[in-house]
Amino acid sequence: MFEPIDHQGFTLADEQQFYENASPIEMILESFQSYHKTARGQRVAAALMAATRSVNQENLELDEILQRVMSAAKKLMNADRSTLWLIDRTQQQLWTKVAFSDGTFHDIRIQIGEGFAGTVALMGEPINIPFDLYDDPRSDTAKKTARQTGYRTCSLLCMPV
């Protein structure tokens, strides 16, 4: 059985009761938010420490260091892929090693200012495209890279480091 609809609605007493409880509710929400922010910060610190320990424990080549750092970043951001672009200042290019669909790694180079990564490198500002990357009019370089690698990017968070 359903209860009948209350046609009276909220009263002034209800409003007063809610007003009196608003401050404790606000404190609880702020505490909850602070807890989650701290927990996320601890996860970030733990992931970075693990990556640092991993790199420091072994005599690694640059490729292996980059793979480990990006693996940690991928895990931290809950992403299925991550790429670190490095600057070649003599050529004014960004370069990276990307896994192709056959499992091999290949160098990819773009000019600073080209594509999303090149724009971020040039401007020093992040680009965040939640979905769908290919709907963005600036996505030509991303589409070209997708044809080369066999990987379709749906969303993108590109940050200067």
Task: Identify the CATH number of the domain in which residue 91 sits.
Answer: 3.30.450.40
**Domain housing 131:** 83-161
If DSSP codes are grouped into helix, strand and coil, which group holds residue 98?
strand
**87 and 155 both lie in a single domain:** yes
DSSP annotation of 80 reads S
**Per the structure, how many domains does the chain have?**
2
Residue 85: other Cβ atoms inside 10 A? 22
pTM listed for this prediction: 0.58
CA atoms of 95 and 93, how far apart (whole Å)? 6
**68 and 89 both lie in a single domain:** no
Do you know the residue count of the chain?
161
**65 and 97 both lie in a single domain:** no
Select from 153, 158, 90 the least CA-distant residue to 123. 158
pLDDT in tens, the chain (161 residues): 566 666 676 778 877 877 787 787 778 778 877 777 777 777 777 776 776 666 566 666 777 777 777 777 777 777 777 888 888 989 999 988 877 777 777 788 989 998 888 999 999 999 888 888 888 888 888 888 888 878 788 888 888 87
